[in-house]
Amino acid sequence: MKTLRAIIADDEDLARRILREYLTGESDIEIVEECPNGFEAVKAVNELKPDVLFLDVQMPKLDGFEVLELIESSVAVVFVTAFDQYAMKAFDAAAVDYLLKPFTAERFRASLDRVRARFNSAAPPVPLPRDLKLASRAPGEYLERLVVKDGPRVHVIAVAKLDYAEAQDDYVALRSEGKTWLKQQTISSLESALDPRRFLRVHRSFLINMERIARVEPNTKDTWLAILRDGTKIPMSRAGYSRFRELAGGE
């Protein structure tokens, strides 16, 4: 049987130790790395490409869902968390299992069986967990920050500092503080994760931070231009312009 390579990500030493202890009896599972925070988890998973990730939700630097967003390879995720009211939805969506702390050795073994089943049988491949975070949001709750990969490092953009986003094939280009960051995500999924009162889809390819708009000028017969505070010109479609009128007028 194939040996499964595992990474443990949890900020509490004792929480990592109990996982390690439970895993010592499992000859087919090898711990390749232990990470005490979200940054290190992203780095380790992307470098070591493990088969299994035991992931805590509340951690310094990046939370568990943000870690998932930045993982580039397919990995079987087992959430190990104390309490998370919204996480259930996400678990249903893509996690192999979730363990509520504290858990027994039997419960943990059952979880490992589910992980093994993923790799042994003809079960569908483990999904890429990238869009999990969207599923985990509560209705009416929007992202306050965006995480992007910057080479091996992780960059965090506060939503208030995002000027606009532009769709570029499979990516969105995020413009913030004079720099551009690429993130693998569709502009529609980004739009749905941001507060619609603050971010406006003015064009098929553009999503703007309302606070950055200095003025709007007519361009051609059916299009307009949003002029941002820094002078950047963003095209607005007819539908985008009417959405803008609606949002600006409602204030």
Partner 1 sequence: MHPLFSHWRRFLLYLAGWVEFGILLAVIAPASGRVTRLEAASVIVPTMLVLGFVCLVPWYLCRSIPLRAVAWKSLVQHHLPGTVVATALVMFVGRLIAASLTSIWPGLDNLFSKATPPLTIFVALTYMLSTALHYAFLEIESSRRAESLAREAQLKALKAQINPHFLFNSLNSISALTSIDAARAREMCIGLADFLRASLRLGERDTVPFSEELALTNMYLSVEQARFGDRLRLVRDIDPACNPCEVPALLIQPLVENAVKHGIAMMAEGGEISISGHRDHDWLRFSVSNPFDPDAPVQARNGIGLRNVRARLEARYGSAAKMQIDATERNYQVTLTFPAKTS
**Interface with partner 1 (CB under 8 A):** 11-15, 17-18, 21, 36-39, 58-63, 66, 82-83, 100-103, 141, 144-145, 156
Give dist(CA 209, CA 218) in Å, integer. 19
Half-sphere exposure of 2 (CA within 13 A, CB side): 13
Q: Nearest distance from residue 163's CB to partner 1, in Å? A: 19
Q: Which is nearer to partner 1, 21 or 246 (CB)?
A: 21
Q: Which is nearer to partner 1, 154 or 167 (CB)?
A: 154
Torsions phi, psi for 22 (to 5 deg): -65, -30
Q: Which is nearer to partner 1, 21 or 230 (CB)?
A: 21
CA proximity to 195, closest of 238, 143, 242: 143
Q: Which is nearer to partner 1, 48 or 82 (CB)?
A: 82
Give dist(CA 123, CA 196) in Å, integer. 38
Largest Cα separation within the chain, whole Å, is: 71
DSSP string, 81-133: ES--TTHHHHHHHT-SEEEESS--HHHHHHHHHHHHHHHHSSPPPPPPGGGHH
Q: Nearest distance from residue 79's CB to partner 1, in Å? A: 13
Q: Which is nearer to partner 1, 49 or 161 (CB)?
A: 161
CA proximity to 74, closest of 54, 108, 50, 101: 50
Beta partners for 211? none
Question: Which pair of tokens denotes residue 188?
Answer: 């529609």
Give dist(CA 88, CA 100) in Å, integer. 11
Q: Nearest distance from residue 230's CB to partner 1, in Å? A: 24
Q: Nearest distance from residue 155's CB to partner 1, in Å? A: 10
Torsions phi, psi for 85 (to 5 deg): -70, -30
Helix or strand (DSSP H, E) at 215? strand 213-218
Q: Nearest distance from residue 246's CB to partner 1, in Å? A: 28
Q: Which is nearer to partner 1, 136 or 244 (CB)?
A: 136
Q: Nearest distance from residue 63's CB to partner 1, in Å? A: 4
Q: Which is nearer to partner 1, 58 or 192 (CB)?
A: 58
Q: Nearest distance from residue 161's CB to partner 1, in Å? A: 12
